[in-house]
Chains A and B, each alone.
Chain A
Amino acid sequence: SAVISQKPSRDICQRGTSLTIQCQVDSQVTMMFWYRQQPGQSLTLIATANQGSEATYESGFVIDKFPISRPNLTFSTLTVSNMSPEDSSIYLCSAPQGATDTQYFGPGTRLTVL
């Protein structure tokens, strides 16, 4: 199975600042996804990150707030910009792998905004 790591695992940030979350996959993948899980809620897809092209954002999420980079086939970053307490969530990256597109998730980044 794929191994996906995320940095940082958790952070506490001040309102108005930005945080960049890193996601590293142990093998090359075409697609990577970023999800948000607000407290007590299920996962919501933020965007799809493909290498070599702009990320595709879901309704309700915009590039200015959540800029994404995908410099190569094993790495992606998600930035949460100009944070407010409403951005306090767990942020997870994932990638499908293998012939069956089994999708693996990173351990998540727990963000608290004060």
Chain B
Amino acid sequence: SQQGEEDPQALSIQEGENATMNCSYKTSINNLQWYRQNSGRGLVHLILIRSNEREKHSGRLRVTLDTSKKSSSLLITASRAADTASYFCAPTISSGSARQLTFGSGTQLTVLP
């Protein structure tokens, strides 16, 4: 199955700074999804980028996708303490049982006030 691996494993920044997280994967995909998980809670869907898109924005989030390098990045601008969470990428193949998502360890982001 397709699994994303996030990098770095942990990231600590000051409030107001930008945070960049990276994701690498190994197979061809239809799209890639980013999720946020606050401690002990469910996953919140942040953004989906299709394989034919290179960049996508949503509020303070900017996602890029480079299918030739099989990598994606998530940029959070002007970070806030409330952005403190774990972030996961999920490369997706939309075909039969391949719709299941396989998660890496995530990036633990800490935004210091």
A residues in contact with B88, CB < 8 Å: 42-43
B residues in contact with A104, CB < 8 Å: 45
Question: Which residue of the partner chain, among A56, A90, A102, contacts B33 with CB atoms under 8 Å?
Answer: A102
Question: Which residue of the partner chain, among A1, A31, A42, contacts B103 with CB atoms under 8 Å?
Answer: A42
Chain B residues in the interface with A (C-beta under 8 A): 30-31, 33, 35, 40-45, 48, 50, 88, 90, 92, 94, 97, 99-106
Nearest B residue to A40, CB-CB: B105
Nearest A residue to B86, CB-CB: A42
Decide if the interface of chain A is mainly helix, strand, loop or mixed: strand
A residues in contact with B97, CB < 8 Å: 31, 48, 56
Chain A residues in the interface with B (C-beta under 8 A): 1, 6, 31, 33, 42-45, 48, 56, 90, 92, 94, 96, 100-108, 110
Other A-B pairs, 13, CB within 8 Å; known A43-B88, A101-B99, A103-B99:
A45-B100, A45-B102, A48-B97, A92-B43, A102-B33, A102-B45, A103-B45, A103-B90, A103-B101, A104-B45, A105-B42, A105-B44, A105-B45
Check B100 against A1 for contact (C-beta < 8 Å).
Answer: no
B residues in contact with A103, CB < 8 Å: 33, 45, 90, 92, 99, 101
B residues in contact with A92, CB < 8 Å: 42-43
A residues in contact with B103, CB < 8 Å: 42-44
State the 5 A-B residue pairs at the shortest beta-carbon distance, nearest first: A107-B42, A105-B43, A108-B42, A101-B94, A43-B103
Query: Given A56-B97, A96-B99, A100-B50 in contact, is the A107-B41 Cβ separation under 8 Å?
Result: yes
* 23 A-B pairs in the complex with CB atoms less than 8 angstroms apart: A31-B99, A33-B100, A33-B101, A42-B88, A42-B106, A43-B101, A48-B100, A90-B40, A92-B42, A100-B31, A100-B50, A101-B92, A101-B99, A102-B45, A103-B33, A103-B45, A103-B99, A105-B35, A105-B42, A105-B44, A105-B45, A107-B41, A108-B42
